[in-house]
Structure 1
Amino acid sequence: MRRLLPQTLPVWVLLIVIAGLLISQVATLYIVSRDRAVANDEVDLYRLNDRAYSLVQLMHDDTPEQRKLTASGLFNATYALTVSDTPAVTSSIAGDDELAELEDILVGRLSKFGITDARVRRDPASQAANAPGGVVLTKDVGAVERDLLGLAASFAQSDKLTASVRFADGQWLNFTEPNTPVGPILSFDSLPLYSLIAALVVIMSIWSLRRLTAPYRMMETAVNRIGTDLKSPPIAETGSREIRAAAKAVNAMQVRLRDYVEDREHLAAALAHDLRTPLTRMRLRLELLRKSTAREALAHDLADIESIASSVIDFATFEVTEEKSERIDFWSLVESIADGFEDVTFDHDGARPRGMICMARPVALKRCVNNLVQNAVTYGKKAHLSLRQSDGTITLVIRDEGPGIPQAQLDQVFGSFVRLEQSRNRQTGGLGLGLTIARNIARGAGGEVNLSNHPGGGLQTELRLPLAA
């Protein structure tokens, strides 16, 4: 179920806007429809009251025969009108409170004309009626006439109010008043307008959301870039007050992180560098000693300490060293490194592909590839190199013939000073910095280093770098 839900904030906001729009539209249409029904009901009661007054005023002085003649002259299918000795509304009890109140109003208003009783009831619509008078609509009918005929047909098919009022002589006046037809809120004529307005609201919402979230996407990119390159340029402090404050905080964080890392790197480099002076004095004094087993052991220990200090300096000065990125022929770089190792083979068909150009710092990238190859030769005895290019990416594959690495430890070996070889021999255990430096350099160039165990045995290392534009 969670997979079906949106995963980004703009989509959530857009769904909320659309849902709010739909709810507000439905609620508005419901309120308008209800208000129209109430207003039409009031108008219908008013029309019946007004017509009753007009008819009674016209007929109250006439004789019973004259009233019948007048009624027959005013009769039509929609507005039925009769005069008889019995009421059309036989029940003296009103159907609801509104009709009961209307009956009292009619008696009170028409009592001066001799009306002694009034009855009103609601009648359902008659489906037998069609176009009034059997008129057939043709193509020659104008727009106004067509609207009038359609409205007349709607009146003929609507619910009706039937009223019976009694004159002083006992004769009943019966007539019907059609209710005002309630037209649909949505029609074929108004639906395109509603759809257009809804589409404009959605489009404007999408545009506004993209404008509002653009700075956040920019900051997300900037933060990701900081994770790989602390020296990346700061983000622009523009936009709304909140965006400027967030951008300023991100830039301040980047400056503090860069200062913190550089201080530690300089400290580590300085300590490793300062070790060389006492180590050199110790080596000079050691040369003055006679040859013995203790002298050879001390010389070996001094060599290890010097190598460790050199590795620490390389690791600490990786970010400190200022080096510009350049366009590099990656094929030539790999080929030159492979030529420097006896136990390395560069697998290719002899035809040198063109266009394997990447953007990186030359010395750093050479160190990255050299560390990966050196690691494969040290722990896997032999290394087989191959290059391929696809989808804008250059991939260097290094496969050794060693025992591989347990699956659970493939990511751990990229940590600083992490060694799977637990011996204290630096030649077999190493210092645990080679892969760390290699991955940092690759990520600084927009690439990545991944390890996996080859199905045929040995460890397989993949270095991926983006092609230069």
Structure 2
Amino acid sequence: MRRFLPQTLPVWVLLIVIAGLLISQVATLYIVSRDRAAANDVVDLYRLNDRAFSLVQLMHDATPEERKATATGLFNSTYALTVSDTPAVTSSIAGDDELAELEDILVGRLSKFGITDARVRRDPATREADDAGGAAPGPEIGQVERDLLVLAADFAQSDKLTASLRFADGQWLNFTEPITPVGPILSVDSLPLYSLIAGLVVIMSIWSLRRLTAPYRMMETAVNRIGNDLKSPPIAESGSREVRAAAKAINAMQARLREYVEDREHLAAALAHDLRTPMTRMRLRLELLRRSPARQALAHDLADIESIASSVIDFAKFEVTEEKAERIDFWSLVESVADSYETVSFDNDDVRPRGLICMARPVALKRCVTNLVQNAVTYGKQAHLSLSRLDGTITLAIRDEGPGIPQAQIDAVFGSFVRLEQSRNRQTGGLGLGLTIARNIARAAGGEVRLSNHPDGGLLTELRLPMAA
């Protein structure tokens, strides 16, 4: 279930805005519809009361025959009007409280005209009324006439209020009043406008959310860039007060991290460099022990110490050294590194891809490729190289013929001073810094180094770098 839910904050906010919009619109339409129905009921009762007053005022002084003649002249299918000796509304009990109150109002208002009883009921539209809606208006009539005909048809097909009023002489006045039809809240004409407004609200919400979250996306990119390269430029401290404060905190964090890392690197470089002076004196004194049996063992140990010092200095200089990124022909760089090793060959030597241009620090990138190739030659004897390009990414694949690496230790070998070769021989085991330096260089250039065991045996090392624009 969780995989179908949004995974980002902007999408959640957008869904909440849309859901709130839909709920508020549905609630508004429901309230408007209910209020319209209530208002129509009051208007219908008012119209019946007003018509009853007019008819009674017209007929109260007339004779029974004159009343019938007048009713016949005013009769029509929509507003039926009759005068008879029996009421059309036979029940003297009102259908609801509203009609009961209206009956009392009619009797009280019309008693001066001789009205002694009033009865009102609601009647549903009859089939005859539905069939008498009339023919569809023709195309030759005007818009006002068309609207009037449509409205008349709606009244003819609506429910009715039937009233019966008794004169003092016992004669009943019966008439009907159509109930005002309640039109739909959303019509064919209003639906496009409603949809347009809802669409504009959604579009404005999306635009506002993108504007609101843009600084956070920028800061996320900046933090990721800092993780790959501490020397990346600081982010701009602009925008709202909260965004400026967050950007300032990130820049301060980057500055402190850079100072901390540089202090450690300078310390390591200084210690390794200072070791060279006593090592030089030791080598000079070692030359004086030409006939000592311990001379060869001491020379071997001294060479190991010098190798360690050189590796530490190189590792420290990787971040301390200032070097600008340049456009590099990656094929030429890899080829120059491969020429230094007799056991390195290209799998696609006959087809050389061109245009493999990347942006990186030249010396650092060459060190990265050299470390990877040297690692393959040292542990795998033979190294097979291949270059490819896919979707703006350059991939250097290096496959050796060694035993590979246990799957559980593939990520561990990227740690500093991690050696899977357990011997103390620096020629076969190294110092454990080569892959660490290579991956740091690749990440600083926006790339990555990945290790995997090849299906045919050996270790497969992939260096991926983004192509230059």
Query: TM class, shorter-chain normalised?
Result: over 0.9
C-alpha distance in structure 2 between counterparts of 1:404 and 1:104, whole Å: 102
Contact 1:14-1:205 within 8 A present in 2 as well? yes
SS in 1 for 2:320: coil
Deviation, structure 1 residue 425: 2.5
What is the match of residue 407 of structure 1? Answer: 407
Deviation digits for residues 40-86 of structure 1 (CA, Å, limit 9, x no counterpart): 00000111111111111111111111111111111111111111111
Indicate conservation of the 8 Å contact 2:397/2:461, yes or no: yes
User: Could you tell me which residue of structure 1 aligns to residue 179 of structure 2?
Assistant: 179
Question: Where do residues 179-328 of structure 1 align in structure 2 (5 Å cutoff)?
Answer: 179-328=179-328
Moved more, 140-149 or 418-427: 418-427
Q: How far off is 1:321 after superposition?
A: 0.3
Q: Give distance in 2, aligned partners of 1:26 and 1:125.
A: 29
Aligned to 1:3: 3
Partner amino acid, structure 1, of 2:247 = A
Contact 1:388 1:395 in 2 (8 A): yes
Residue 416 (structure 1) aligns with: 416
1:410 deviates by 1.0
2:345 matched residue in structure 1 = 345
AA paired with 1:303?
A
Change (3 A) 1:44 1:344: same
| 1:59 correspondence with 2:45 | no
Secondary structure in structure 2 of the residue aligned to 1:291: coil
CA contact 1:131–1:149 (8 Å) conserved in 2? no
Aligned-residue Cα RMSD (Å) equals: 1.5
Give the equivalent residue in structure 2 for 1:169: 169
2: CA distance, partners of 1:292 / 1:466:
57
Kept after mapping to 2: 8 A contact 1:335/1:346: no
How many residue pairs get matched?
Answer: 469
Amino acid in the other structure paired with 1:456? D
Q: AA paired with 1:122?
A: R
Structure 2 CA distance for aligned equivalents of residues 69 and 242 of structure 1: 85
Partner SS state of residue 141, structure 1: coil
Checking the alignment, whether the CA contact within 8 Å between 1:132 and 1:149 is kept in structure 2 is no
- Any unmatched runs of 5+ in structure 1? none
Partners of 1:260 and 1:94 in 2: CA distance: 91
User: C-alpha distance in 2, partners of 1:68/1:389?
Assistant: 101
Deviations 1:354-387 (A, max 9, x none): 2122221111111111111111111111211222
Distance 1:465 1:158, change over 3 A: same
CA contact (8 A) 1:132 1:152 kept: no
- How far off is 1:401 after superposition? 0.9
- Give the CA deviation at 1:135: 5.4
Query: How far off is 1:126 after superposition?
Result: 2.2
Corresponding residue of 1:18: 18
- Contact 2:133-2:156 at 8 Å conserved across structures: no
Q: Which runs of 5+ in 2 are unaligned?
A: none
Deviation at 1:133, TM superposition (A): 8.1
**Distance (whole Å) between structure 2 residues aligned to residue 160 and residue 296 of structure 1:** 121
Counterpart-to-counterpart distance in 1, 2:127 and 2:419? 92
Normalized against structure 2, the TM-score is what?
A: 0.97
Alpha-carbon distance in structure 2 between the residues aligned to 1:174 and 1:6: 65
Q: What SS does the aligned partner of 2:17 have?
A: helix
> What's the offset of the Cα at 1:417?
1.1
Does structure 2 conserve the Cα–Cα contact (< 8 Å) formed by 1:88 and 1:164? yes
Deviates more, 1:327-336 or 1:182-191: 327-336
Give me the whole-angstrom Cα distance separating, in 1, the residues matched to 2:435 and 2:150. Answer: 85
Alpha-carbon shift at residue 11 of structure 1 (Å): 1.6
Question: Offset of 1:26 from its aligned partner?
Answer: 0.8
TM-score normalised by length of structure 1: 0.97
Q: Aligned partner of 2:330: which letter? A: F
